[in-house]
């Protein structure tokens, strides 16, 4: 069977499963975030932390709670890494060095899961489970909470509040992420993903040589890593490692896990605004991008142009035999179009244009379907801009879901869209513009010479700014410059957009709804789907064309 | 409520909730999953393979079949090239991360091609891609059926075994695509070599 058929059948499998999940999961999530009822365990939790679940927050208070929660998360993960030598189950590893500990703490709290380190050489089991995995849950729940707050802004009328952050985060973890993770972890264990606290075992092979069998609580971490679109691997090789992803079908399963919530959230949105067609329109845009991008990456890697690929006979460098080309490209597309950043093949060794496409996926703003929550609020921000553009063309006051889009709303959405490109372009430019930094970047960090080395740097800032976390992993990022600059990029790339999304939510919630008239632009028709696709391409992708031309395009079209 | 007091209160809520989440998600959750994993002890502990009661590896983790200097031992089926440590170091999983225009990678592929053509006595153009490229994890347990079949003459020769017997063995270790369309066909090198070591001439 050739790659075309393999792609069609494997992609179809993913699409069918996601299609079956869309209504029940999306509807369930809408219920979770709208019901007045609290579970008994939740009531006990609210008493312990001192929160009245019935109280509501204005957007600035919601934001302050979110920032407080995230700051405490950063401090805790930083602390755990710094005291690693005294923690149990630390495999005799020393404390993580300051710069790296700061970078890693931010990385996991911002749902990026960029890893400047090799986990099996750096992080003991306690830091992995009690530090990193906890943030996998927390950061995912925070992302969904912000999306839900924005949807409330669109669905409420004349409301001063947008929900309660503590309730949203607690419900996200307890009712959505945790149950899904338990089920997924059990399936992964049965498949062969390890779950133990054994140290790395040294054995003698049949040839008399020596080998190592790694240990660790991997399945529990792997599950939330995909479901929460986190992506931080238990091992350096991430989802390419056979103990994280042993079979071709577990790879498909992990793809489904990382896409499940982001692709179901449009349903949640549709339910909450009382018009399921709005959800289908957003879903269509996300789906079209995913299918087109996956097909293109599969094509590029199957053709396998480039000197080394041609010499070897196929682009199999950095790919596992069991996944093959198609299993690798489907995973890579899903991972870079969400904010997951997990890899089951090394993107640094993709063909030049294939690696460029992985970058472009992130540069689209991770909205197709994007990270858990961040994908939905990201695409809604672009949708608001799209409605505004359409309004300008026909000369009418733009409205989205009955909300007037005035100067304030458009400013919020526009600033939101500008933040990430600014971070990415500035970070990349500074890496080469500051002489001392440039010496370290080209001398120490870049693994490949020339254009591809530049691509490694561009990829790093694209990944950090968009909170993706995948890498052209040849780059040595554990240098003072990258630890600091990527840390700042992740922090700003996560929380600045959230400020503007919550401000937008607050301003939309305060409005009354205007009635639909003959002049209202319908936002559930194919016409709007096309408009939104165009806006995403023009607003996001074109911003990056020049920097892509300098790296992957120049390398691939040479 | 003044906003300073409100903000301070937020931090207390954040600290308390983070502590509770750390206990519930960072300790209880992985322990519960580990307890459930006891029901599937073989998988949870790494799908270990034993010969004569001694653990010789994991069915899922690739190994190298080389001498101490890293030279391929002709009597064993060889795994793919590996960038994990000095090769198949499961304490340091990694790909090479070399791009397709990398001079280092181009040189390495040329050298591997020449070495295999010489050791296996085959046309360099017939060597399958997986034999020439390092995997993503550096721990790929599999090779393609084409690469396994390509090594038969060398292995049979080194072991004084009939080519037909070794061919039969290799064919019995070819795993097809799951459901006919998921993944690529593979041969698990360690499992094949264990069976090979039991093959009598």
Interface of A with B in 99-138 (CB under 8 A): 118, 120-121, 129-131, 133-134, 137-138
pLDDT 10s digits, B44-62: 999 999 999 999 999 999 9
Residues B121 and B62 in one domain: yes
pLDDT at res. A397: 81
Q: Is any Cβ of chain B less than 8 angstroms from the Cβ of A472?
A: yes
Residue A404 sits at φ, ψ, to 5 deg, of -75, 135
Sign of the CA dihedral running A536, A239, A12, B185 = positive
Instruction: Check CB contact under 8 Å for A196 and B34.
Output: yes
The pLDDT assigned to A174 comes to 98
What's the CA gap between A423 and A178, in Å, rounded? Answer: 33
Give the residue from A295, A294, A224, A218 showing the smallest Cα distance to A260.
A224
Instruction: Render A11-72 in DSSP notation, one character per residue.
Output: HHHHHHHHHHHHHHHHHHHHHHHH-----HHHHHHHHHHT--TT----HHHHHHHHHHHHHH
Tell me the nearest-neighbour CA distance from A477 into chain B, angstroms.
14
What confidence tens digit (pLDDT) does each residue in B165-191 have? 999 999 999 999 999 999 999 999 999
Return d(Cα A380, Cα A370) in angstroms, integer.
12
Of A190, A249, A455, the CB nearest to B182: A249
A237–B93 CB contact, under 8 Å: yes
Region for B55 from its dihedrals, namely left if φ exceeds 0, alpha if ψ lies in -120 to 50, beta otherwise: beta
Q: Which residues of A332-360 are buried (b: 16+ CB within 10 A; e: fewer)?
A: bbbbbbbbbbbbbbbbbbbbbbbbbbbbb
Residues 27-56 of B with CB under 8 A from A: 27, 29-30, 32-34, 36-37, 40, 43-48, 51, 54-56
Residue at token pair 């393979």? B49
CB-nearest to A51 from B13, B96, B99 is: B13
pLDDT higher than threshold 80 for residue B3: no
Q: Indicate yes or no: CB of A211 within 8 angstroms of CB of B68.
A: no
Which one has a higher pLDDT value, B6 or A271?
A: A271
**Do residue A237 and residue B94 have CB atoms under 8 angstroms apart?**
yes
- CB contact under 8 Å between B13 and A196, yes or no, is no
The structural domain count of chain B equals 2
Domain that holds residue B59: 47-197
With beta carbons less than 8 A apart as the criterion, state whether A382 and A504 touch. Answer: no
Q: Do A189 and B36 lie within an 8 Å CB cutoff?
A: yes
A:380-439 residues touching chain B, CB 8 A cutoff: none
| The pLDDT of residue A5 | 96
A445 touches chain B (CB under 8 A): no
- pLDDT averages per 10-residue partition of chain A, 558 residues: 93 98 98 97 97 96 97 98 95 94 97 94 96 98 98 97 98 98 98 96 95 97 98 96 98 98 98 97 98 98 96 98 98 97 97 97 94 97 95 87 94 96 97 95 93 96 96 94 96 98 98 88 95 93 90 91
Question: For residue B72, how many C-alpha atoms fall within 13 Å in the half-sphere facing its CB?
Answer: 21
Do residues B18 and B99 share a domain? no
Q: Nearest CA to A297 among A335, A332, A252, A322? A: A332
Same domain, B110 and B173: yes
Q: Are residues B157 and B68 in the same domain?
A: yes
Contacts of residue A183, Cβ cutoff 8 Å, sequence gap at least 6: none
* Segment 528-557 of chain A within 8 Å of chain B by CB: 555
| 0.90 surpassed by complex ipTM | yes
| pLDDT value at residue A169 | 98
Rounded Cα distance between A462 and A360, Å, is 9
B62 lies within 8 A of chain A by CB? yes
Which residue in chain A is spatially nearest to B81 when comparing CA positions? Answer: A317
Q: Are residues B121 and B139 in the same domain?
A: yes
Nearest to A242 among B22, B76, B137 (CB): B137
Enumerate the residues of chain B whose CB falls inside 8 A of the CB of residue A118: 92, 94
**B6-29 as b/e, with b when 16 or more CB fall inside 10 Å?**
eeeebbebbbbbbeebbebbbeeb
Q: Can you read off the two tokens belonging to residue B43?
A: 């998988």
Q: Best interface-test mutation with B: which of A92, A133, A318 has the largest number of B CBs within 10 A?
A: A318
Q: Among A321, A332, A476, which would you mutate to test the B interface (most chain B Cβ atoms within 10 Å of its Cβ)?
A: A321
A238: closest chain B residue by CA: B137
**Is the CB of residue B149 less than 8 Å away from at least one CB of chain A?**
no
Per-residue tokens: A337: 């179009």
Q: Are residues B134 and B35 in the same domain?
A: no
Q: What are the chain B neighbours of A192 within 8 Å (beta carbons)?
A: 43, 47, 59-60
Q: Same domain, yes or no, for B72 and B159?
A: yes
Do the chains contact at B60 and A246, CB–CB below 8 Å?
yes
Distances (CA, A) of A257 to A195, A264, B2, B7: 19, 11, 44, 36
Q: Name which of B21, B98, B135 is nearest A320 (Cβ-Cβ).
A: B135
Please report the pLDDT score of residue B4 as a whole number. Answer: 67
Residue whose entry in the numeric block shows the structure tokens 């929900």:
A163
Q: Are B126 and B69 found together in one domain?
A: yes
User: Which of B4, B27, B99, B125 to mutate: most A Cβ within 10 Å?
Assistant: B99
Question: pLDDT value at position B1?
Answer: 42
Pair B30, B109 in one domain:
no
Q: Is B94's CB within 8 Å of A118's CB?
A: yes
- Please report the number of interchain residue pairs, chain A to chain B, with beta-carbon separation below 8 angstroms: 362
What is the rounded CA–CA span in Å between residue A296 and residue A353?
A: 10
Q: What is the DSSP string of A184-214?
A: HHHHHHHHT--B--PPPEEEE-TTS-EEEE-
| Residue ranges of A 162-181 with Cβ closer than 8 A to chain B | 166, 169-170, 173, 178, 181
Residues B100 and B192 in one domain: yes
With an 8 Å Cβ cutoff, are A205 and B56 in contact?
yes
Residue B155 and residue B66 in one domain: yes
- Are B182 and A248 an interchain contact pair (Cβ–Cβ within 8 Å)? yes
Domain ranges, ordered by start, for chain A = 374-556
First and final CA of chain B: distance in angstroms?
88
How near does any CA of chain B get to the CA of A391, in Å? 40
């Amino acid at each position: 069977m050739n790659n075309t058929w393999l792609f069609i059948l494997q992609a179809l499998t993913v699409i069918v499963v996601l299609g079956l999940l869309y209504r029940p999961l999306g509807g369930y999530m809408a219920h979770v975030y709208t019901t007045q009822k609290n579970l008994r365990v939740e009531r006990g939790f609210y008493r312990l932390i001192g929160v009245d679940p019935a109280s509501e927050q204005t957007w600035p208070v919601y934001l302050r709670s979110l920032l407080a929660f995230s700051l405490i998360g950063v401090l805790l993960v930083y602390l755990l890494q710094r005291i690693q030598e005294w923690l149990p189950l630390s495999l005799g590893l020393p404390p993580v060095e300051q710069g790296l500990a700061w970078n890693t703490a931010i990385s996991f709290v911002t749902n990026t899961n960029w890893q400047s380190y090799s986990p099996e050489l750096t992080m003991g089991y306690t830091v992995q489970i009690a530090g990193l995995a906890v943030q996998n849950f927390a950061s995912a729940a925070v992302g969904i909470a912000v999306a839900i707050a924005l949807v409330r802004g669109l669905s409420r009328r004349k409301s001063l509040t947008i929900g309660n952050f503590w309730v949203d985060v607690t419900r996200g973890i307890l009712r959505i992420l945790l149950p899904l993770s338990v089920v997924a972890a059990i399936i992964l264990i049965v498949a062969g993903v390890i779950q133990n606290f054994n140290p790395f075992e040294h054995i003698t092979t049949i040839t008399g040589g020596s080998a190592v069998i790694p240990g660790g609580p991997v399945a529990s971490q792997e599950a939330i890593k995909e479901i929460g679109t986190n992506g931080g691997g238990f091992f350096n090789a991430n989802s390419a490692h056979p103990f994280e992803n042993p079979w071709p079908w577990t790879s498909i399963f992990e793809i489904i896990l990382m896409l499940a919530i982001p692709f179901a959230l449009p349903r949640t949105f549709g339910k909450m605004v009382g018009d399921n067609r709005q959800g289908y329109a957003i879903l269509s845009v996300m789906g079209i991008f995913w299918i087109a991008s996956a097909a293109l990456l599969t094509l590029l890697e199957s053709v396998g142009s480039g000197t080394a690929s041609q010499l070897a006979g196929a682009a199999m460098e950095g790919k596992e035999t069991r996944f093959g080309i198609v299993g690798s490209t489907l995973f890579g597309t899903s991972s870079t179009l969400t904010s997951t950043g997990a890899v089951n093949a090394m993107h640094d060794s993709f063909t030049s244009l294939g690696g460029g496409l992985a970058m472009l996926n992130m540069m689209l703003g991770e909205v197709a379907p994007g990270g858990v929550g961040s994908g939905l609020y990201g695409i809604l921000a672009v949708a608001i801009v799209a409605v505004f553009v359409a309004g300008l063309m026909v000369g009418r006051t733009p409205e989205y879901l009955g909300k007037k889009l005035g100067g304030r709303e458009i400013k919020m959405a526009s600033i939101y869209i500008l933040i990430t490109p600014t971070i990415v372009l500035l970070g990349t430019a500074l890496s080469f513009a500051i002489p001392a930094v440039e010496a370290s970047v080209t001398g120490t960090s870049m693994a490949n010479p020339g254009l591809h080395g530049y691509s490694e740097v561009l990829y790093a800032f694209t990944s950090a700014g968009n909170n993706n976390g995948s890498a052209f992993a040849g780059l040595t990022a554990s240098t003072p410059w990258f630890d600091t600059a990527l840390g700042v990029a992740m922090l700003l790339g996560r929380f600045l957009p959230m400020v503007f999304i919550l401000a937008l939510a607050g301003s939309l919630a305060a409005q009354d709804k205007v009635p639909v008239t003959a002049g209202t632009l319908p936002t559930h028709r194919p016409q709007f789907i096309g408009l939104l696709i165009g806006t995403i391409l023009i607003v996001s992708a074109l911003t990056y064309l020049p920097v892509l031309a300098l790296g992957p395009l120049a390398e691939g079209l040479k | 409520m003044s906003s300073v007091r409100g903000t301070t209160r937020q931090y207390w809520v954040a600290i308390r909730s983070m502590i509770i989440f750390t206990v519930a998600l960072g300790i209880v959750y992985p322990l519960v999953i580990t307890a459930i994993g006891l029901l599937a002890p073989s998988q949870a502990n790494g799908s270990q393979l034993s010969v004569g009661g001694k653990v010789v590896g994991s069915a899922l983790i690739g190994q190298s079949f080389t001498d101490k200097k890293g030279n391929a031992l002709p009597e064993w089926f060889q795994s793919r090239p590996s960038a994990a440590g000095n090769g198949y170091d499961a304490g340091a999983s990694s790909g090479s991360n070399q791009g397709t225009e990398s001079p280092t990678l181009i040189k390495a592929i040329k050298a591997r091609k020449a070495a295999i053509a010489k050791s296996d006595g085959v046309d360099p153009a017939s060597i399958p891609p997986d034999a020439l490229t390092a995997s993503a994890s550096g721990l790929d347990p599999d090779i393609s059926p084409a690469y396994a079949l390509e090594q038969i003459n060398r292995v049979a020769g080194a072991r004084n075994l009939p080519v037909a017997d070794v061919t039969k063995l290799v064919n019995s270790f070819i795993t097809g695509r799951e459901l006919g369309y998921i993944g690529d066909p593979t041969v698990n090198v360690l499992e094949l070599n264990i069976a090979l070591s039991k093959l009598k001439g």
